[in-house]
Amino acid sequence: MIVIPFFNNATQVVPNCKTYPKHKTALSIMVFYHHWLKWFGDEDLVAKNTLEKVMIEWGLEKKALKSAFNLKGEKIKNATIIGLTRTSTVVWVWQGYFHKISETSLMHELVHVMLRAKNGHGDADHEGNIHSGWTTEHSALIYEAKEMLRSFDI
């Protein structure tokens, strides 16, 4: 377990020490928070305080689930996933191709964490109609944050 700098209790678990150096992970979380503030604000500091204690588990292999939802809210059976929000502050993220955080589902999973902190649930069906919370603005935030990370080559 590696402590992520600039965040009080944020950590990451990596397959090896060269995978996602802690300063790149810290910058990625900062970029996410910057975009969260732009899109949704954080007057009560719930988002900031949640990110202070996030734990990211980087996985080597994709995972299989019996069922999941796609971004449109459609149920998928026997899904292969690349990210999972395990608890209110713990996420699992497949390491992706080329070891670039911008090419992983980290930003996506952090949205689930933020929604859980704000609404009490992470909105598993995304833009679907079963749960409320996830909007097209959340999806746009992810896109913008990933584009910024790509500009830093992260």
**Which residue segment(s) compose the domain that 26 sits in?**
2-151
pLDDT band of residue 136 (cuts 50, 70, 90) is very high
Please, what is the angle between helix 136-151 and helix 22-40, to 10°? 140
Query: What percent of the chain is modeled with pLDDT above 70?
Result: 100
In the chain, the number of structural domains is 1
Average pLDDT of the residues in 131-135: 85
CB-CB neighbours of 62 under 10 Å: 13
Distances in Å between the Cα of 23 and the Cα atoms of 28, 33, 88, 122, 131 are: 9, 15, 23, 27, 35
Helices first, then strands: H and E counts in the chain: 4, 7
Q: What is the pLDDT of residue 18?
A: 73
Question: How large is the greatest C-alpha to C-alpha distance in the chain, in angstroms?
Answer: 41
Model-level pTM? 0.93
pLDDT digits (tens, 9 = 90+) for 45-57: 999 999 999 999 9
